Amino acid sequence: MQDEVTSLRDEVNKKNTTIKKFRDISSYYESLEVTIRSLKGDLEESKKQNTDLLQAIEKQENEVISLKSQLECAFRIHQMQ
């Protein structure tokens, strides 16, 4: 009878250990999921900022082209005088 009790206690302890391991793993994966969601949000924000920066660069490039064209016109007018 004592052996059976000891055996059952051992089995319960093993199951409790297994349950704890599963809880720890579950907690770890939940934490990873939160981290992944946060990183995904950061990535989306970064993509938006990159798009905005690209548009600003394109606008500046167009302004430079326009200014260069105006400067060339002014230079030609000055040469004609």
pLDDT at 81 over 90: no
Spans of all domains in the chain: 1-81
Tens of pLDDT, residue by residue over 5-63, are 898 898 999 999 999 999 999 999 999 999 999 999 999 999 999 999 999 999 999 99
Query: Is pLDDT at 68 greater than 90 in this prediction?
Result: yes
Give pTM, 2 decimals.
0.62
pLDDT for res 2: 84
- The pLDDT assigned to 4 comes to 87
CA dist 28 and 22 (Å) reads 10
